[in-house]
Amino acid sequence: MELLSAVYRLLTYSPFALLRERRVLRAALAHWQGRHAFAFPYLNTGGAEQVHADIMATVADQRPIIFITGFSKDRSFAERFARIGTLVETPHLLHHPFTARSARRRIVNALNAREQPVLFGANTAHLIHWGEQLRPDGKLLLLIHAFLYQPEGNRIHKQWLPLFPRMDRYVFIARQAMVEYERFLLASHIPRSALGKLIHIPNAVHSFGSVGPHTAPGVLFVGRDSAEKRLGLFLRIADEVHRAAPGAFRFTVMGADPRSGHGHVRFLGTIADAAERDRIYADHDVLALTSDREGFPMVIMEAMAQGLAILSTPVGDVPNRVDPRFGMITSTTEADAVVREMVEALMALGRDHGRLQAMRHAALAEARAQFSMERFRQHYRELLMSPSAES
């Protein structure tokens, strides 16, 4: 498979793109004056990219350099990343069989030219490759959004295990993912005494709204059309509720392109503007999350901050952080059961608008109490500015 990928890249990557990225990389490294480097795969619209931007913003005054290692579906976060630090997009250069090694060497040499460099990243193997050669006084940090221990799986994380002694901190946004990773490490013969490297820093939101009345309750799905988000389940739920009670609810999808055959569902596509996203949240009453795998998704936090009740599958940290005062959680992630239980839950809320309003007020109150951006910034500032444990 790796050989086929290398051949494909050799035949399809434009020489002009490689030359352009090489010039961009050289210029960026020549002008970089800080010691903080970030490695992330994408600039496209997404909850992970929102979190990455918020993390980097805590050390914007340190003039960080930001490496984008993959091919983004869109560039919604390009402007915000560029305001934070020096943005370098080199996906062709880092994956081409003739340029990947020299590009890696150039980046690692630039990192090691700094005293106490800090390398932080998520969702990219390049962080691991660069971290293997990071100087001893450098700080190496890996952010893990979601994780589920699979005794016969977790292939990538098993490949990264040799770097465990060198890693300074593993940062988790969800406690459930951290517990699962502890199981994985113990099963991989990492001593329990070493698990102090795992820390939990919950995400935060930028703004809070209010609870307003709506003529017909709005049910919102937020996410890309990917396998784990299971947009199809949401559409099945919308179809069944619409058949049982035509017009009783409004159904909206934000973040995914339209699918045919669902005339009663409004598809908004990708919304890049944060204020517009908040307005859309505020126009709804319930967030429906049908995923079969999550950590603690930003969409739940953003929805609660705008006064939406939560209807979710029992994934990641959701069962521990969404309680009955403002949320309803299905008994399983099994598809048919999710559809059945969410339809029943929505029909019950449709008959009891007072309960729905109370849940919305409780969700907003919980968000104000738990999703503080000030606390988030303090935790990451301390993490990124403190010296390496090895120094």
Neighbouring residues of 228: CB distance < 8 A, sequence distance ≥ 6 = 291, 292, 293, 294
21 and 120 in one domain? yes
For 224-273, the pLDDT digits (tens) are 899 999 999 999 999 999 999 999 999 999 999 999 999 999 999 989 88
Domain total for the chain?
A: 2
* pLDDT number for residue 365: 98
**Residues, the chain, total?**
391
Distance CA 103, CA 109 (A): 10
CATH number of the domain bearing residue 156: 3.40.50.2000
For 368-379, the pLDDT digits (tens) are 999 999 999 999
| Angle at the Cα of 148 from the Cα atoms of 144 and 152, rounded to 5 degrees | 120
**Nearest in space to 170 (alpha carbons), one of 181, 162, 180:** 181
167 and 24 in one domain? yes
122 and 237 in one domain? no
* 23 inside domain: yes
* 193 inside domain: yes
* 390 inside domain: no
DSSP string, 29-85: HHH---SEEEEES--SSSHHHHHHHHHHHTTGGG--EEEE-S--S--TTHHHHHHHS
* 252 inside domain: yes
* pLDDT number for residue 1: 58
Distance CA 320, CA 336 (A): 23
Contact 127, 39 (CB under 8 A): yes
* 16 inside domain: yes
* 211 inside domain: no
- CA quadruple 275, 279, 280, 284: dihedral, nearest 10: 150
352 and 235 in one domain? yes
Kind of pairing, strands 218-222 and 86-89?
unpaired
263 and 127 in one domain? no
First to last CA, the chain: 40
* Other CB atoms within 10 A of residue 247 CB: 8
127 and 10 in one domain? yes
* 53 inside domain: yes
366 and 304 in one domain? yes
* pLDDT number for residue 7: 66
Q: For the chain, list residues with pLDDT below 50.
A: 390-391
Two tokens, residue 79? 């402007």
140 and 85 in one domain? yes
* 210 inside domain: no
**Nearest in space to 65 (alpha carbons), one of 29, 101, 99:** 29
The range of the structural domain enclosing residue 105 comes to 2-204+373-385
230 and 195 in one domain? no
104 and 192 in one domain? yes
Kind of pairing, strands 286-289 and 309-312?
parallel
242 and 199 in one domain? no
| pTM of the shown model | 0.86
* pLDDT number for residue 5: 76
112 and 17 in one domain? yes
